[in-house]
Structure 1
Amino acid sequence: MRAPRLSAALVLLVFLPPLAFAGDTEWRRYVIPSTGTSVDMPVSIFTSDAGPPEGGTGRRFFTEDRRADLTVQSVPNPENDSPATFLAKQRPPAGIIYQRITSDFFVVSSIRKDRIWYNRCNRGNGTMNCVLINYPATEKRQWDSVVTRISHTLRG
């Protein structure tokens, strides 16, 4: 006897990641007190505080199931390097899919181990103020608007 099949709609509702309902996402401004760096953060998506990041001041957050993470940090830039010079000194990995560099910020993104990584850093006074986001490549469309809002609201 064959087991009954769930309808495709029911399967989608049960297994659709929470980001599919991003319109219901709760956003709050996250601020790094010591540098004033701030960003709109989807607190209903990144629910777990993972503590301070390595190599900077700020905070790292995970989704409840840890499939995605967000880091907001200020990284020392004592020589006040331009975004292009700072990025070059970081020696980013080969195979960057998207890159944009201006005199005020840089954005780089690619895929590694079936995960999209996205980094944006704004030039500050003696710091680079950054958001780093990692999420499953299979969920790209669901993350696009979330990543865009985070990126566009980065200040500092």
Structure 2
Amino acid sequence: MTPPALLITVAIVLVPDLTNAQPRALDWQRYNVAAGSAAADVPRAIFSEDGGPAPDGPGRRFVLADGRADLTVQAVPNPDGASPAAFLAARKPPSGIIYRRVTPRFFVVSSIRNDRIWYNRCNRAAGVMHCVLINYPAAEKRRWDPIVTRISRSLSGG
């Protein structure tokens, strides 16, 4: 007698393929930390869960429903007006940064840790750095690239 077939259902939540997606499909919404402070576009269809307050200053953390990815939009105090390069150095970023771009107006750093890409961009403003931090699965990099790009380019404030 043959054992009965076992049916296993696996649900995988993937970031949508954005190749032909309409902007509305991701429900992009502008998140403002406070009037005149950091702001960025947030794809609410992806980051649908509230992850609580930002860790380093006023702002918010948003999380993918299954917890595999998160986004933080925050205004980090920079009372001495440190340049982006000095601010980044003071934060003591981990070694092994794969991508780094530092200008007088902003910095961007990114790398991989524990099979997740971490991406951090901060724009300099008076007494503060407006920042987005994004963590997502490295295996899904190509799907995340347009999302990260839009969030990063939308960062503003001041």
Structure 1 and Structure 2 fold alike (TM over 0.5): yes
SS at match of 1:46: coil
2:154 match: 153
Alignment of 1:22-33 (within 5 A): 23=21, 24-33=25-34
The question of 1:46 aligning with 2:44 is answered no
The runs of 5 or more residues in structure 1 that have no matched partner are: 4-10
User: Which residue number in structure 1 is paired with residue 66 of structure 2?
Assistant: 65
Measure how far apart 1:58 and its partner are. 0.1
Asked if the contact 2:37/2:75 (under 8 Å) is kept, the reply is: no
Equivalent of 1:17 in 10, 14, 17: 14
Question: Conserved in 2, the CA contact under 8 Å of 1:35 and 1:74?
Answer: no
Q: Which residue of 2 aligns with 1:8?
A: none
With normalisation by structure 2, the TM-score equals: 0.87
Letter of the 2:59 partner, please give it: G
* Aligned Cα root-mean-square deviation (Å): 2.1
CA distance in 2, matches of 1:122, 1:18: 27
Task: Give the 3-state SS of the residue equivalent to 2:48 in structure 1.
Answer: strand
**What are the Cα deviations for residues 95-134 of structure 1, in whole angstroms up to 9, with x where unaligned?**
0000000000000000000000000000011001100000
On the 8 A contact 2:15/2:144 being kept in 1, the answer is no
Compare the two structures and name the one with the higher helix fraction.
1
Q: How does 1:73-112 map to 2 (within 5 A)?
A: 73-112=74-113
User: Percentage identity across aligned positions?
Assistant: 56
Between the aligned partners of 1:90 and 1:56, the Cα distance in structure 2 is: 14
Give distance in 1, aligned partners of 2:12 and 2:18. 12
Amino acid across the alignment from 1:144? D
Q: Secondary structure at the match of 1:148?
A: helix
Query: TM (normalized to structure 1)?
Result: 0.88
